[in-house]
A and B are shown apart, each in its own frame.
Chain A
């Protein structure tokens, strides 16, 4: 509609502005407290997860409610290969791909038996799969201690590259760069890479095949699309993203336990994708950023407000956060089923009446 928006100069300066803002963000945030840089890091982790899930849910239309299992697999792979539990301390650029590969294998393991299922059945099976993974993480401490059970794994190695330890503060060119800030920039790079992969995928032969499957699987098969392979590929790709995010989570956090990979986390990632707009990369990113930042802002405003008004905390911020997720899911489906930033095709699909 508006031609000036597409002008290269406008697009270019827009991109430059966003890039500058993203680079300066951690410095601004650390003025408010290092905690906010950590929150930003977790927001980016959720963006990574949401982008991964977007491949499965948004592109291929396969509702996966056990997505966090792949995050868990990536996280545990990293923690076991770069931590004191087995005494292995491999560098992160070796471990992350291994974790991603293992997660991809899990993705295929989940995908293969569920190929025939569609829609809501698939959602439940993936949910069951996620729970099974969590139960195993909780119990694989006996007879051979692999996961250390509910206690989780601690003292996981932080990233280090060219002698830069990501857990340490450091003064680079006169600017104090804290550990979380280093992770922030690394996460930013990974996010950029994943965005590029996502964008390229969407407009590729594979992306169009996924879209065709999502729209009408039988028609897609009739058009010569190998639906089996394409669906498995979607699961594997989504899982890979989850695995990478999991590995980074492990390193940033330094400690993981099955508690971090409960069903609610899967639902949260689904909420982000749904809120932002299934299938729209920018919408999904918006959803993830909103749903990770808003609750934190609430945490810092609602709690003091309650303290001031009632003299005590009546409603914990954690509860408000979860209520918010629930409400977001319900209200979005009722009033804006295609999300805040809908993808064009998805919008058509979700507003069409079912036969």
Chain B
């Protein structure tokens, strides 16, 4: 039970981050039906910029919270710039091209960003300076740090803010109109180009914050961290129903919890020693070593992909989505 609650909390923390990154995918997909492959790299760049700032300021004696906030404050404009630049230079010229063209471009952008980041920050794993003293709380028998609580709180706040932006403001209305029908939205006086650029910018800003959170949570950053994180967040977006903003939030949280619980229990579930009686060889084996685990927690990364494939095969529209998943 303790493991369950513990993994649930870990999963929620991770899931909250996935949700925020997934929002970046889903907003862009909702509006121009592009899988922005390079979004994971934006998150990575956010983490990297924050790392540099925090590293420089860490010794300065400023309160840790201020340092982290300054790091985030620098990460956001850089990521926003990257997000805007890639929309402007790589995707906008291809807006009327067939679907595969921007997707391939996105892969190219992702490679370029990754290796530019490698040039700047080296290929080493960078350790975030541990400036925030970890405080732990015990909740229902599970150990939770204040960083985890802060991450969950910030993610919820950002999601609420985004929801307010999308459903309550003029820009949000314009975004939803553009998502429904670009041409008609244009005829109604919506500056489609600006709205699309704004979507990229908002997604990138959310990604920057997510990058900082991932960096401080794990305490490390590397130039390759964006691709796997991006893929998982994309899986979360698909799980929730791509193009659907509440869906991305739900999908992220569900995926985080599935991953954490999966990693926590898969070893026990696939321990063949539970059924040691079925063969003599297995009985012998289990007498020597009480565990015969087929799949351990090192398969954690598989869950996101399995979830992704299952969703796309069984219910391509996702948990909350109405869009059909097989549009060419």
A interface residues, Cβ below 8 angstroms from B: 63, 65, 113-114, 116-121, 123-125, 127-129, 131-132, 135-136, 138-139, 142-143, 217, 263-264, 267, 270-271, 274, 315, 319, 322-323, 325-330, 333-334, 337, 349-350, 352-354
Asked if B111 contacts A267 (CB within 8 A), the reply is yes
Asked if B97 contacts A329 (CB within 8 A), the reply is no
Write the chain B residue with the least CB distance to A331: B108
Write the chain B residue with the least CB distance to A138: B298
Asked if A326 contacts B301 (CB within 8 A), the reply is no
Asked if A329 contacts B107 (CB within 8 A), the reply is yes
In the assembled complex, 22 residue pairs joining A and B whose CB atoms fall closer than 8 Å, in A order, are: A113-B309, A114-B309, A117-B316, A120-B35, A120-B100, A121-B238, A121-B316, A128-B231, A128-B235, A128-B309, A143-B292, A270-B104, A319-B118, A323-B111, A329-B104, A330-B108, A330-B112, A333-B101, A333-B105, A334-B105, A337-B101, A349-B98
Write the chain A residue with the least CB distance to B307: A128
Contact residues in A for B101 (Cβ distance below 8 Å) = 333, 337, 350
Asked if A334 contacts B94 (CB within 8 A), the reply is yes
- Check: B299 CB closer than 8 A to any chain A CB: yes
Contact residues in B for A349 (Cβ distance below 8 Å) = 98
Write the chain A residue with the least CB distance to B301: A135
- Check: B127 CB closer than 8 A to any chain A CB: no
- Check: B93 CB closer than 8 A to any chain A CB: yes
Contact residues in B for A274 (Cβ distance below 8 Å) = 104
- Check: B176 CB closer than 8 A to any chain A CB: no
Contact residues in B for A128 (Cβ distance below 8 Å) = 231, 235, 304-305, 308-309
With A333-B102, A350-B98 given, is the CB distance from A267 to B107 under 8 Å? yes
Write the chain A residue with the least CB distance to B271: A143
6 additional A-B residue pairs with CB within 8 Å, beyond A117-B325, A129-B305, A135-B299: A121-B316, A128-B309, A143-B292, A315-B119, A327-B112, A329-B104
Asked if A333 contacts B94 (CB within 8 A), the reply is yes
Write the chain A residue with the least CB distance to B300: A135
Contact residues in B for A143 (Cβ distance below 8 Å) = 292-294
Total interface residues in chain B, CB < 8 Å: 52
Tell which of A63, A129, A138, A352 touches B103, judged by Cβ atoms closer than 8 Å: A63
- Interface hits, B83-130 → A, CB 8 Å: 90, 93-94, 96-105, 107-112, 114-116, 118-119
Contact residues in A for B153 (Cβ distance below 8 Å) = none
Q: Nearest Cβ distance between residue A228 and chain B, in whole angstroms?
A: 14
Asked if A132 contacts B115 (CB within 8 A), the reply is no
- Check: B168 CB closer than 8 A to any chain A CB: no
- Check: B18 CB closer than 8 A to any chain A CB: no
- Check: B222 CB closer than 8 A to any chain A CB: no
Q: Nearest Cβ distance between residue B290 and chain A, in whole angstroms?
A: 12
Chain B 272-293, CB-CB to A under 8 Å as 1, else 0, gives 0000000000000000000011
Contact residues in A for B304 (Cβ distance below 8 Å) = 128
Main secondary structure of the interface of B (DSSP, over half): helix
Q: Nearest Cβ distance between residue B229 and chain A, in whole angstroms?
A: 13
**Of B111, B114, B301, most A-chain CB atoms within 10 Å:** B111
Q: State the CA gap A127–B230 with chains docked (Å).
A: 12
With A263-B227, A353-B96 given, is the CB distance from A330 to B115 under 8 Å? no
Write the chain A residue with the least CB distance to B94: A333
Contact residues in B for A125 (Cβ distance below 8 Å) = 308-309, 312
Contact residues in A for B119 (Cβ distance below 8 Å) = 315, 319
- Check: B200 CB closer than 8 A to any chain A CB: no
- Check: B313 CB closer than 8 A to any chain A CB: yes
- Check: B51 CB closer than 8 A to any chain A CB: no
Asked if B293 contacts A142 (CB within 8 A), the reply is yes
Write the chain A residue with the least CB distance to B293: A143
Q: State the CA gap A302–B96 with chains docked (Å).
A: 38
Contact residues in A for B231 (Cβ distance below 8 Å) = 124, 127-128, 131
Q: State the CA gap A136–B326 with chains docked (Å).
A: 28
Contact residues in A for B150 (Cβ distance below 8 Å) = none
Q: Nearest Cβ distance between residue A268 and chain B, in whole angstroms?
A: 9
Q: Nearest Cβ distance between residue B298 and chain A, in whole angstroms?
A: 5
Q: State the CA gap A143–B295 with chains docked (Å).
A: 8
Q: State the CA gap A139–B103 with chains docked (Å).
A: 31
Asked if B97 contacts A337 (CB within 8 A), the reply is yes
Q: State the CA gap A333–B227 with chains docked (Å).
A: 21
With A323-B112, A330-B109 given, is the CB distance from A120 to B309 under 8 Å? no
Contact residues in A for B116 (Cβ distance below 8 Å) = 323
Contact residues in B for A114 (Cβ distance below 8 Å) = 309, 312-313
Q: State the CA gap A325–B103 with chains docked (Å).
A: 15
Q: State the CA gap A131–B295 with chains docked (Å).
A: 16
Contact residues in A for B108 (Cβ distance below 8 Å) = 271, 325-330, 333
Contact residues in A for B102 (Cβ distance below 8 Å) = 333
Write the chain B residue with the least CB distance to A57: B100
Contact residues in B for A264 (Cβ distance below 8 Å) = 111
Q: State the CA gap A334–B308 with chains docked (Å).
A: 30
Q: Nearest Cβ distance between residue B93 and chain A, in whole angstroms?
A: 6
Asked if B326 contacts A139 (CB within 8 A), the reply is no
Contact residues in B for A352 (Cβ distance below 8 Å) = 98
Asked if B105 contacts A322 (CB within 8 A), the reply is no
Contact residues in B for A319 (Cβ distance below 8 Å) = 115, 118-119
Q: Nearest Cβ distance between residue B117 and chain A, in whole angstroms?
A: 10
